[in-house]
Amino acid sequence: MVQDHPVNHGSKLRRFAAMHQQPGSVQLSTHLLFVFFLISAALLSCHQPETQQAGPAYSGKPLFPDTVQIKYARGFQLEYHPNYKLLQVFTSSGKGQDTTRYLLVQRGTPAPGGYPYAQQIWIPLRSMIGTSSMHVALADFADCSGLLTGLEDLRYVFSPAVRERIRKGLIKGVGVDGNLDNEQVLALHPDLVMVTKNPGVQSERYGVLQEAGIPVLANAEWMETTPLGQAEWVKLMAALVNKEAAVNRAFDSVETAYQHLAQQGRGAAGKPAVITGLAYKGTWFVPRGESFMAQFLRDAGAAYPWAATKGSGNLALSFESVAPQGLQADYWINTSDAVSKTEIADRDRRYADFKPFKNNTIYNNNNQVNDQGSNDYWESAAFHPQIILADLIRIFHPDLLPTHQLVYYKQIK
């Protein structure tokens, strides 16, 4: 829980109320009174003297026999101390750049001093609010989805277990379309709110929550440039729930399978040419050569036209720049939300001239879509890159994995 600055809580609440009063108003509305009391209760509950906040520095035996070692991820690092873990999240794929720090402190022990700018999180977590389907997948991987009590948007969840908890009312919606509702979050008072943002970008959106003692953790797995780097963020979740041993074993299985498949894919005879995506409003975004999607294609034994470009993220190209590659490509993947060739051609008749369109070698990553339209590719796939890679190898080199059944991908006909 974040230590508060030595400012009177009543003055904070008065400032909050004043900010929300209409000009000329002399009384708070019923709605604002509700907000006032919510925040008051949150602040008071947060600042009740807890046993773990009092007393001298911890001097007992080390409490974390299991640790994690970060091998692929470049966006975070963990240090283990006797009764706490220091989590450092970096703003870009390199250590020591604009670090954001979090203290993960074992419940029942005193918080350490010497970290004036670090947010404090009591572990193991008992409850958490997620703001992305990725956070659902993190909790699922660590077998702790039961701690989810809120999600920013309930519409995009694929996990059957989490959907069942939503159906039973155990997980509440706390926002929509990227807008977190502070009132609803305060009412749940979770141990942590996990958000998706660049850790180095200051945001006032979460100030009310942090002042109420609710830690806000910036998850930046999306900034990783390799499939295993992105998947390794499951170890951060492990540290939050003290499940390092189990998550280490699960990740080791992912790593071993991925490396074995990558060796097969890179060694494949012949490298079929592959294009990705569709144009949107005249712009065609393709993965740069140092992105994790380009790494997938290399490991799957494909020839990618933009493999030599520098940087991660996407290149913004015109339709005319990509079309010559499409006319010659052997395969075409990741075609947005398209479910048929007819749908693709309806978006632009020129697509029908592409070689993969004519040869029926279009594959999209929407094989796992539930009845609400949630696509599991955007949820669990990031933490199971070995399955994505197996799908791609099966598509590009079917003789290498003749018995593999596609999981996240399907042929578009």
Q: Is residue 48 part of a domain?
A: no
Average pLDDT, the chain: 87
* pLDDT tops 60 at residue 217: yes
Same domain as 311, residue 238: no
Model pLDDT, residue 97: 53
Q: Is residue 47 part of a domain?
A: no
What DSSP string describes 293-323?
Answer: HHHHHHHTT-B-TTTT--SSSEEEEEHHHHH
How does DSSP classify residue 77?
A: E
Same domain as 313, residue 191: no
Mean pLDDT, range 70-85, rounded to an integer: 96
Same domain as 239, residue 122: yes
Q: In what order do the strands lie in the sheet with 362-364?
A: 274-276, 331-333, 362-364, 410-411
- Say how far apart CA 99 and CA 82 lie, in whole Å: 22
Say how many domains are in the chain: 2
Same domain as 281, residue 210: no
Same domain as 338, residue 248: no
- Say how far apart CA 305 and CA 327 lie, in whole Å: 12
Same domain as 169, residue 226: yes
Same domain as 155, residue 220: yes
Q: 196: domain CATH number?
A: 3.40.50.1980
Same domain as 250, residue 395: no
User: Among residues 349, 351, 369, which one has the least CA distance to residue 409?
Assistant: 369
DSSP H or E segment with residue 160: helix 160-167
Q: Is residue 45 part of a domain?
A: no
**Domain boundary pick from 254, 286, 304:** 254
- Return the minimum-mean-pLDDT range out of 19-28, 173-182, 214-223: 19-28
Residues spanned by the domain of 300: 267-411
- Say how far apart CA 288 and CA 308 lie, in whole Å: 8
- Say how far apart CA 413 and CA 410 lie, in whole Å: 9
Q: Is residue 42 part of a domain?
A: no
| pLDDT tens, position by position, 83-125 | 999 999 987 645 545 678 999 999 999 999 999 889 999 999 9
**Domain boundary pick from 225, 254, 283:** 254
Q: Is residue 19 part of a domain?
A: no
Same domain as 103, residue 226: yes
Same domain as 274, residue 250: no
Model pLDDT, residue 203: 61
Mean pLDDT, range 226-246, rounded to an integer: 98
Calculate what percentage of the chain has a pLDDT beyond 90. Answer: 76
Model pLDDT, residue 189: 95
Buried b (16+ CB within 10 A) or exposed e, 268-282: beebbbbbbbbbeee
Same domain as 307, residue 171: no
Same domain as 272, residue 236: no
Buried b (16+ CB within 10 A) or exposed e, 356-389: bbeeebbbbbbbbbeeeebbbbbbbbbbbbbbbb
> Would you place residue 199 in the very low, low, confident or very high pLDDT band (cuts 50, 70, 90)?
low
User: Among residues 229, 141, 206, 131, which one has the least CA distance to residue 171?
Assistant: 131
